[in-house]
Amino acid sequence: MREINRYLVTAALPYANGPLHIGHLAGAYLSADIYSRYLRLTGQDVAFICGSDEHGAAITIKALQENKEPQEIVDTYHALFQDTFQKMGISFDKYHRTSAELHHQTSQDFFRELHKRGEFIEKESEQYYDPIAKQFLADRYIKGTCPKCSHDSAYGDQCEKCGSALSPTELINPESTLSEGKPELRTTTHWFLPLDKYEGWLNEWINKGTVDGEQLHFPEEWKNHVLGQCRSWLDNGLHPRAMTRDLSWGVDVPQEIPGAEGKKLYVWLDAPIGYISATKEWAAENDKNWEDYWKSEDSALIHFIGKDNIVFHCLIFPSILKAHEGYVLPYNVPANQFMNLEGDKISTSRNWAIWVHEYLEDMPDKQDELRYALAKNMPELKDSEFTWKGFQDANNNELVNNLANFINRVVVLTNKYYDGAVPDFDEDTSFIGPEGEESLPAFHDSELVRLNDNLLDYRQQMCKFDFRGGLKTLMLISSQGNQILQANEPWKLIKEDEEAVKPIMNLMLQYLKVLAVGMRPFLPFSADKMMTLLNLPAITEEGELNAIGESLCEGELIVPVAHKIGTPSHLFSRIDDEVIKAQVEKLEATKVASTPSATPAAPLKSTVQFDDFMKMDLRAATIIEAKKVKKADKLLELTLDVGFEKRTVVSGIAQHFSPEEALGQQVTLLANLAPRKIRGVESQGMILMAENGDGSLKFIQPTEGTENGSSIS
RNA sequence: GGCGUGGUAGCUCAGCUGGUUAGAGCGCAGCAUUCAUAAUGCUGAGGUCGACGGUUCAAGCCCGUCUCACGCUACCA
């Protein structure tokens, strides 16, 4: 196995079209930060890299909606991200952005190299082109009449009214949203990465960790859900994947390549290369060589991501790296699952989230409290749940009552008995250990060893990405400190035998330093306060953990005798019920605010002529049979009584209505829609639905007394 | 629909390659204690380990069926 001498830690690039919520932190950033800080404490060479993902159609759309330039949108969110991460203590070595010139160059060079090597397959297809704007149009840039509901401004990929997924060529009267002109079909070329060709080595690499027999990682160290997802894809066979798009906002395909005009790199190619360009920028600023981190056999590349990104980071990006040659492949991808909030999925669109920038305003200087609550309950192996009550309990019962209180009682006693100076002691003085065990000669030494054993447990857990376990071990150290104090009762003992108190208090002070350093990855702000409290030099994350471990092993003190500590001050404070109640109410209020009236209505579509409308034949009809379409989650097969005949219609409403609910409903039918086979069933028309702001669907129903088959106009 | 991952005490979660009475933290009850932010310590009560069936001397852990949650994917005129 190769030796590892440096680590490149990445956290998923956040997409610059909305603020960060606690799910983002719990999913990738906090884990990545904890791990990076931990590695630094063990003296490792670490580059912790991230940046804003600023390209893609979604950002252009948002810009259009808000009547802004895409650059304005990404500037706003990039600034917000930077600020939020910095305030939360996420210790990126470099936080970059994909709109940076360096990134454009880097990703273009990458594409060039792959192209030169002949790794791409070129595929032609017919696509709409706007002759006025002189570019191919992404699906989202084409509007037209929905063939399903006759909604007159359906997008090329989806009709927002009826929710149908569309392909641009299906639209009636397509129109470019850029120029409002009529687009024409033209042949366009795209470059595909033939993932199917890589199946062989990917299989070996994922399942055995080897490439050409060389051990690159250990699959048994990877998380189950990560391996499972990868194997699932591999077993089902991979397919070529387009690496370019016809878009206006993104990284240009190198223009010297024939056919590149108007083409942009696919964001999923562009984004992970952002890790590379960010590393380059960092290296240039810090007198490092970026290639050491990306191209050297003794570097470990670790991607922290959420579970929705697994395939990309475990299969597609590695394929890209390998096709280019010279790059290391990921050593581990410790993807987290998702964090739910108060019993519900976190949802940006439903505004069911705790926004980190708002938290920072509402709860000033409580970054570590949030970091603790998230870390303690991180979705490392399965989805987890965040509740405000849980947050309060974790703060009050664990941070305040256990940790901060332990620290405080030690500092108070030390100041009271020894005027703040670490006491010297007779090594043969005995006392009681945390489990109430009998004291032995030189007990203090063996207690230091025990402390080190805990530290070793902690280190092992941290190495295995078991951060919750590591945090728990630290809290155990704090608990054991409380136990030792309780068992020995120095406040009583001091009246009978002053000498006997000294080894106990000395040991407790050693505990405090271990806690301060060990907690640094989780609670960076508080760890610093602890060091100040102990009047010790600030933690620089340059191998302090190793130094402590070595000393403890040898039975040496890590806080020397006679060292003068600071005066007591509280590390954490209680969070009252009212504060929690206010947050819960704020969250509940978003549920009300997200009701249809508060959701912005879909923009009006462009004007149509009367004749266009008259082309549609709308009829009243009643659903007389309804059943689920097999092998389709969203489809109901409906039989409609249209008065003069019966029709079969397949409709994508199964997730909103059960067959029983649909049965007997009178609906509006678009009767002259061209028939189409869906999942083997011919659908003769389409029923009209209204979509509310919350995404729920309602039938468009004639009032009572309407006869089936009557014409609607 | 296919594939993947999970469903363990009131709550949030651990349980390695199957092995004696299933664990932790919080909450709850009782006792002890006061140095400390009404903090701490000890003891205890709580689980048919999603359901059913199977393999085994032995299953939370293996196999099958089902169910629920989440992710990826297909479908969505």
A433 in Cβ contact with A450 (< 8 Å): yes
Q: Which nucleotide is nearest to A171 (CA to C1')?
A: B77
The CATH fold of domain A6-111+249-336: Rossmann fold (3.40.50)
Mean of pLDDT values over A25-31 = 92
Nucleotides of B under 7 A from a protein CB: 1-7, 11-15, 24-27, 33-37, 39-42, 69-72, 74-77
- Give the distance, in angstroms, between residue A603 CA and nucleotide B22 C1': 58
The reported pLDDT for the residue numbered A328 is 95
Predicted pLDDT at A246: 78
Altogether, the residues listed in chain A come to a count of 713
Q: Which of the two residues, A349 and A616, has the higher pLDDT score?
A: A616
Residue A163's alpha-carbon distances to A42, A145, A613, A656, A693, in angstroms, are 53, 13, 20, 12, 12
User: Number of helices (H) and strands (E), helices first, in chain A?
Assistant: 24, 28
Q: Which nucleotide is nearest to A339 (CA to C1')?
A: B70
Region of A511 (left: φ > 0; alpha: ψ -120 to 50; beta: rest) is alpha
Q: Which CATH superfamily is domain A353-595 in?
A: Isoleucyl-tRNA Synthetase; Domain 1 (1.10.730.10)
Rounded to whole angstroms, what are the CA distances from A327 to A110, A268, A378?
11, 18, 31
- What's the pLDDT at A683? 82
Residue–nucleotide distance: A579 CA to B29 C1' (Å): 29
Q: How far is residue A466's CA from residue A333's CA, in Å, rounded to a whole number?
A: 13
Could you tell me the distance in Å between the CA of residue A343 and the C1' of nucleotide B68? Answer: 15
Radius of gyration of chain A (CA): 31
Pick from A670, A674, A675: which is nearest to A686 by CA?
Answer: A670
Mean predicted confidence (pLDDT) in A206-219: 89
Q: Could you please report the per-residue DSSP string of A515-557?
A: HHHHHTTT-HHHHHHHHHHTT-PPP-SSSHHHHHHHHHHTT--
Nearest Cα neighbor of A517 from A40, A26, A93, A47 is: A40
Higher pLDDT, A49 or A466: A49
The whole-number pLDDT of residue A135 equals 61
Q: How far is the CA of A332 from the C1' of B18 (A)?
A: 29
List Cβ neighbours of A690 (8 Å cut-off, separation of 6 or more): A697, A698, A699, A700
8 A C-beta contact, residue A10 and residue A50: yes
pLDDT at A365: 93
pLDDT value of position A595: 43
Describe chain A by its helix, strand, coil percentages, rounded to 5. Answer: 45, 20, 35
A711: amino acid identity, one letter: S
Using C1' positions and the CA of A635, the closest nucleotide is: B76
Neighbour tally for A237: CB within 10 Å: 9
Is residue A662 classed as helix, strand or coil in its secondary structure? Answer: helix
pLDDT digits (tens, 9 = 90+) for A111-168: 999 999 999 988 876 677 777 666 666 666 677 665 555 556 566 655 444 444 456 6
Separation of CA A208 and C1' B16 in angstroms? Answer: 20
Lowest mean pLDDT, pick from A117-121, A191-195, A224-228, A255-259: A224-228
Nucleotide nearest to A236 (CA to C1'): B3
Instruction: Specify the nucleotide whose C1' lies closest to residue A674 (CA).
Output: B77
- Please give the pLDDT value at position A597: 38
Q: How far is the CA of A340 from the C1' of B50 (A)?
A: 20
Banded pLDDT at A469 (limits 50, 70, 90) = confident
Q: How does pLDDT run across A506-535, given as a tens digit for each residue?
A: 999 999 999 999 999 999 999 999 999 999
A680 vs A579 pLDDT, higher one: A579
**pLDDT per residue as tens digits for the range A659-712:** 777 888 888 888 888 777 777 778 888 888 776 655 567 788 888 888 888 888
Whether A286 and A269 have beta carbons less than 8 Å apart is answered as no
Give A416-451 pLDDT, tens digit per residue.
Answer: 999 999 999 988 888 888 877 766 666 677 888 889
Spanning CA of A274 to C1' of B22, the rounded length in angstroms is 47
Contact in structure between A692 and A656 (CB atoms under 8 Å): no
Tell me the pLDDT of chain A averaged across its residues.
86
Token output for A323 = 């096709």
Checking if the pLDDT of A383 tops 90, the result is no
Pick the CATH number of A610-712 from 3.40.50.620, 2.40.50.140, 3.30.470.30, 2.60.260.20: 2.40.50.140
A572 nearest nt, CA–C1': B37
CA of A472 to C1' of B21 (A): 27
- Residues 6 or more apart whose CB falls under 8 angstroms from that of A21 comprise A346, A348, A353, A354, A355, A356
Q: What is the mean pLDDT of residues A307-324?
A: 91
pLDDT above 70 coverage of chain A, percent: 89
Determine how many CB atoms are found less than 10 A away from the CB of residue A325: 11
- Burial label, A33 (beta-carbon count in 10 A; 0-12, 13-18, 19+): buried
- Closest residue to B26 by CA to C1' distance? A393
Q: Report CA dihedral (A218, A222, A224, A225) to the nearest 10 degrees.
A: -130
User: Using CA atoms, how far apart are residues A238 and A232, in angstroms rounded to an integer?
Assistant: 10
User: Which residue has 């945390």 as its token pair?
Assistant: A434
Q: What is the pLDDT of residues A587-631, one digit of tens each?
A: 888 766 544 433 444 555 556 777 777 788 888 888 888 887 776
| Distance from residue A383's CA to nucleotide B23's C1', rounded to whole Å | 21
The first and second tokens of residue A60, run together, are 């252009």
A159: nearest Cα among A620, A172, A657: A172
Element at A315 (helix H, strand E): none
Q: Which helix (H) or strand (E) holds A170?
A: none
Question: Which residue minimizes Cα–C1' distance to B41?
Answer: A486
Q: State residue A342's pLDDT score.
A: 87
Rounded Cα distance, A367 and A92, in Å:
16
Let me know: does A209 contact A168? Beta carbons within 8 Å.
Answer: no
Answer yes or no: are the C-beta atoms of A55 and A107 closer than 8 Å: no
Rounded to the nearest 10 degrees, the angle between the axes of helix A443-463 and helix A498-519 is: 10
Going from N- to C-terminal start, the domains of chain A cover 6-111+249-336, 353-595, 610-712
Q: Position of tokens 């290296």?
A: A283
Nucleotide closest to A416 measured between CA and C1': B35
A639, two tokens: 């039989």
A52-56, A209-213, A223-227, A281-285 — which one is most confidently predicted on average? Answer: A281-285
Average the pLDDT over A396-406 and give the result. Answer: 94
Q: What is the ipTM of this complex?
A: 0.90
**What does the block give as tokens for A262?**
């108007």
